[in-house]
Amino acid sequence: MTFLATSFAQEDARNLILLLVIGLVLRFYAFSQIYMIAIDGAFQYISVAKLFYQGAYLEALRQPQLPLYPFLISIVTHITGNFELSGQMISMVFSLLAIFPLYMIAQFLFGSKTGFWATLLYLVNPLMLHCSVDVLKEGLLIFLFFSSVYCSLRFLREGQGRWLIWTVVFTAAGALVSMIALVVVVVMGGWVAYSAMRGREKERKLFYRYRWSVIIVAGMMMLFFLPGLLGGDFLSTKKPYKVVEGMFYRWFVSEWPSLPQIGERLLYVLDRFIEKTYYVSLPFAIFGLVWKLKTREFITEERYLAILICVLIVIFFPNLYASGRYHLPAIFLLYLLAGFGFAKILELIDIWFTKYRRLAPIILVIILFGSMVSFSLRPQRLDKVGYKEVGLWLRKQTSAPSLILADDPRVAYYAEREYIMIPSGATPEEIVKKGMAEGADYLVIEERKSEISGAFAAFEKKGVLKLVLRHPYGRKGMVVYVYTMKKTKIPSQKVL
């Protein structure tokens, strides 16, 4: 493909092969350690994928979720026959493919050594590794995002129209996964416009090309809003759109934040950003940045990336409780500087520690990556696997449609039934009252040690509840109880 064209040496080929092997090993191990998929995967992506799979395309497009990832799940499901496995396969494949644009960005700006270390940091990032084996869209998003960033860098440096076209293509595809992908064309547009205002002929030509590309793409998008096609619901029902709308409303309409509030939000978002970066890699990024500034090697494209990082962080100020996964694009841009800083430190060690020239870098690598891998290889949701097992048991026990009152909705997902959520902090009386009022057939609730032991005994005596399953699991005294609520009659069973 055209966008892959770059000056690759034999060292780059070796690096990429080694990185692919490391990535495959880590992801296959992480895949063996995931015991239950994320709630987003169960209720946002797979539910829409089922509509695509059934041929209800317009209905799927009107759901509150951007369509590309669920659509790909539906396509792969025609081969695998399993929605969960299809979602995980797509995440794994694209998270591995993201190695290429990320490495090329680093190699293009900093060299092959930085490309290797920056990409390795990406591969062992715990949050990304866990997303890569789950039914989550981050693998696909990161691949499309970094492909668009790489192409935008080539466009800014070389000015060739093909790089602008590829930037728009990858950004448009990324926007069908998450609207955060649009940040690339927005920042690039601002950068080109500012350069054009400074009066340089080359930048003016870049701006004209960018302007016409935006007009053409915007015109093509407007076709979807013609009467008889998708209509306004295609955008207005989307969850990312609602998030952006809510952020705009909080910032500019309902409550313009005061300076102390802005400072508080800034500290909170930065703290979480650093947490998801994983602390050990941050000093290397700072060292790389200081080195660049001190040696005055901070080139135009690197300043463009710095602005991109800042914008990606700032846009989450109004929405403090957005998932930490939203920070991943900015984190991996920061890893470019961390990889550069790490490579420079290894060069300095090679000069300074002549006696321990081989040992010192090994110790440094172990400290850096060992601290992250220990988090990366932890089992996922093993402490919740009892809900999955109970859900699968309920699927076998019930044939008619039923309503499940539970403190984790994935019970109903695995049971293939509808659910009502137990309100946080609700008392046993409030839980039973809610179930009775909404016509629940089952109550599924977890007991940790003696937290709710015997709490529903009084309701069993009154005949309101009937215990049909007591399922202990895990190593911390965790038990999931399943009660029927008056209507459903199935054989009692004490232990799964």
Write out pLDDT tens, residues 469-492.
Answer: 888 887 666 888 888 887 644 445
Q: Is residue 43 over pLDDT 50?
A: yes
CB 131 within 8 A of CB 327: no
Which pair of structure tokens corresponds to residue 304?
A: 């463009």
For residue 245, report the phi and psi dihedrals to the nearest 5 degrees: -60, -45
Q: What is the mean pLDDT of residues 420-430?
A: 84
pLDDT band for position 281 (cuts 50, 70, 90): confident
What element of type H or E holds 445?
strand 442-448
Does residue 280 carry a pLDDT above 70?
yes
Please give the pLDDT value at position 45. 93
DSSP 407: S
Give the pLDDT of residue 267.
79
Q: Over 50: is that where the pLDDT of 360 sits?
A: yes
Does the pLDDT value for residue 452 go beyond 60? no
Report for 2-11, 30-39, 93-102, 345-354: range of highest mean pLDDT: 93-102
Across the range 70-84, mean pLDDT stands at 95
Reported as type and span, the H/E element at residue 482 is strand 478-484
The pTM score is: 0.84
Band (493; pLDDT cuts 50, 70, 90): low
Q: For residues 174 and 67, what is the distance between their CA atoms, to the nearest angstrom?
A: 11
Which pLDDT band, with edges at 50, 70 and 90, does 252 fall under?
A: low
Q: What are phi and psi of 479, to 5 degrees?
A: -140, 135
CA distance 314 to 260: 16
Average pLDDT (98-127) is 93
Q: In the chain, what are the domains?
A: 2-376 (no CATH), 382-484 (3.40.190)
Question: What whole-number distance in Å separates Cα of residue 465 and Cα of residue 471?
Answer: 17
H or E element, residue 268? helix 259-277
**Residue 279: pLDDT over 50:** yes
List pLDDT tens digits, range 389-422: 888 898 887 666 788 998 888 888 898 888 888 8
- The answer, yes or no, to whether residue 134 has pLDDT greater than 90, is yes
Q: What mean pLDDT do residues 197-223 have?
A: 68
Q: Which residue has the higher pLDDT, 27 or 200?
A: 27
Angle between helices 10-32 and 99-109 (to 10 degrees): 140
Q: What is the mean pLDDT of residues 231-239?
A: 60
Rounded to whole angstroms, how far apart are CA atoms 324 and 321? 8
pLDDT at 317 over 70: no
Out of 255-259, 381-385, 399-403, pick the least confident.
Answer: 255-259
Mean pLDDT in residue range 104-108: 93
Nearest to 290 by CA among 344, 238, 250, 243: 344
Which position has the higher pLDDT, 127 or 9? 127
- Name residues whose C-beta falls within 8 Å of residue 154's C-beta, 6 or more positions apart in sequence: 108, 160, 163
DSSP 182: G
C-alpha torsion 55→61→65→68, nearest 10: 70
Q: What is the pLDDT of residue 132?
A: 94
Query: H or E element: which one contains 446?
Result: strand 442-448
pLDDT band for 145, please (50, 70, 90 cuts).
very high
Say which residue, 271 or 52, is predicted with more confidence. 52
- What's the pLDDT score for residue 259? 72
Q: Flag the least confident range among 299-308, 314-323, 406-415, 452-461.
A: 314-323
